[in-house]
């Protein structure tokens, strides 16, 4: 039973990356943020999103090793951001952390794209700026995705906790 929620998150992350969706609109980073915040044990909070990302990469294909390292690093840093969020839980903090996670992913993944020797970007400040500017349309979907999925995960969790607290005790008679 204690593996049901982690398994559900792996399956959710895998499915939502494999089924057709807008580019960068996936729950993986929201799962990392939620897991880092809500899982009592920090190990699953780090392992679950990595497993979900890796399994989905098996289906959709691997990409440049430099880009993969930057994406996986962003995922780990998002879970670590969730560790910070444990002691700062509020709607505003979750909103801010979801935005920060999306921006972090944008910065790291596109830096990885720029570092990729086959990217075609000049190895200069101008090339890096060009890489970030051309990736701006993906930032929007990343931010919206993080906000939507974080709202679903954190909101669903809190609503479930409230519903369970208000549920009247069952009579044995």
Average pLDDT, the chain: 88
Is pLDDT above 70 for 172?
no
In this predicted model, what pLDDT tens digit does every residue of 95-110 receive, in sequence order? 999 999 999 999 999 9
Instruction: Tell me the mean pLDDT in the region 78-106.
Output: 95
The answer to whether 64 touches 120, Cβ cutoff 8 Å, is no
Higher pLDDT, 8 or 85: 85
Nearest CA-CA partner of 32 in 42, 20, 22: 42
Q: Domain extents for the chain?
A: 4-151
Nearest CA-CA partner of 38 in 145, 154, 147, 152: 154
Alpha helix segments (H runs only) across 86-135: 91-115, 125-134
């Amino acid at each position: 039973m204690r593996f049901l929620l982690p398994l559900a998150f792996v399956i959710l992350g895998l499915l939502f990356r494999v089924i057709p969706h807008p580019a960068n609109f996936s729950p993986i980073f929201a799962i990392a943020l939620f897991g880092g915040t809500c899982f009592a044990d920090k190990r699953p909070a780090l392992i679950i999103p990595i497993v979900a990302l890796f399994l989905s990469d098996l289906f959709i294909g691997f990409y440049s090793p430099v880009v993969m390292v930057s994406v996986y690093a962003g995922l780990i840093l998002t879970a670590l951001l969730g560790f910070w969020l444990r002691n700062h839980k509020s709607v505003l903090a979750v909103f801010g952390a979801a935005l920060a996670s999306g921006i972090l992913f944008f910065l790291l993944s596109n830096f990885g794209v720029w570092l990729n020797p086959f990217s075609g970007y000049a190895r200069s400040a101008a090339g890096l700026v060009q890489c970030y500017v051309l990736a701006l349309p993906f930032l929007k979907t990343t931010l919206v995705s993080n906000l939507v999925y974080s709202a679903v995960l954190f909101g669903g969790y809190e609503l479930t906790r409230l519903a369970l607290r208000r549920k009247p005790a069952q009579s044995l008679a």
